[in-house]
């Protein structure tokens, strides 16, 4: 990219997002969801740096008509020390989700009391497999199962 490009000097690795590097790559997924009881839900998810590592982009799809394709951008606030995921899907639904991250795991949540969601993704020690556990609750009710997936790394990308 030419140095004369607008904002070129900001296209660089964001240190606050480095704990998410274990997600990088293309993953085949198989999920389960209570609304599709007994069905395997195959799909794909990818995580890649955008703008030289200033942001992380997630793209996901599930091969089932009731589950939307979506994308998300992860960014940070260095003053607050926070990471936020901005989600958008094919239905036109968008959400801002606070993100927590640790050694080999990441979680995010949606805090609307009418429809709350949370998910945690945990990687195995070898980095070839991840498991997500999703939960949801409506109208400030009890938490129940949501989309949960097994991820198998197909390709590493940086």
pLDDT digits (tens, 9 = 90+) for 139-149: 878 999 999 99
**pLDDT at residue 157, rounded to an integer:** 74
Examine the pLDDT at 85 and tell me if it is beyond 60: yes
**pLDDT at residue 140, rounded to an integer:** 78
Structural domains for the chain: 8-155 (2.40.128.20)
How far is residue 43's CA from residue 60's CA, in Å, rounded to a whole number?
8
Mean local confidence (pLDDT), 79-105: 97
How far is residue 41's CA from residue 50's CA, in Å, rounded to a whole number?
28
Examine the pLDDT at 71 and tell me if it is beyond 80: yes
Among the listed residues 1, 70, 85, the one whose alpha carbon sits nearest the alpha carbon of residue 29: 70
Examine the pLDDT at 50 and tell me if it is beyond 80: yes
| Greater model confidence, 111 or 4 | 111
Examine the pLDDT at 110 and tell me if it is beyond 70: yes
For the segment 19-28, what is each residue's pLDDT rounded down to a tens digit?
999 999 999 9
**pLDDT at residue 2, rounded to an integer:** 55
């Amino acid at each position: 990219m030419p140095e004369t490009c607008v904002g070129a000097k900001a296209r660089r690795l964001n240190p606050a997002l480095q704990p998410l590097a274990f997600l990088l790559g293309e993953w085949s997924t198989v999920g389960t969801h209570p609304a599709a009881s007994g069905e395997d839900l195959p799909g794909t998810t990818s995580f890649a740096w955008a703008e030289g590592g200033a942001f992380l982009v997630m793209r996901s799809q599930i091969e089932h008509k009731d589950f939307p394709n979506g994308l998300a951008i992860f960014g940070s606030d260095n003053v607050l020390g926070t990471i936020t995921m901005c989600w958008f899907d094919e239905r036109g639904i968008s959400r801002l989700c606070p993100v927590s991250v640790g050694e080999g795991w990441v979680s995010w949540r949606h805090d609307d009391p009418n429809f709350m969601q949370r998910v945690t993704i945990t990687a195995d020690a070898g980095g070839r497999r991840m498991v997500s556990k999703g939960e949801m609750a409506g109208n400030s009710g009890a938490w129940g199962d949501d989309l949960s997936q097994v991820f198998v790394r197909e390709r590493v990308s940086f």
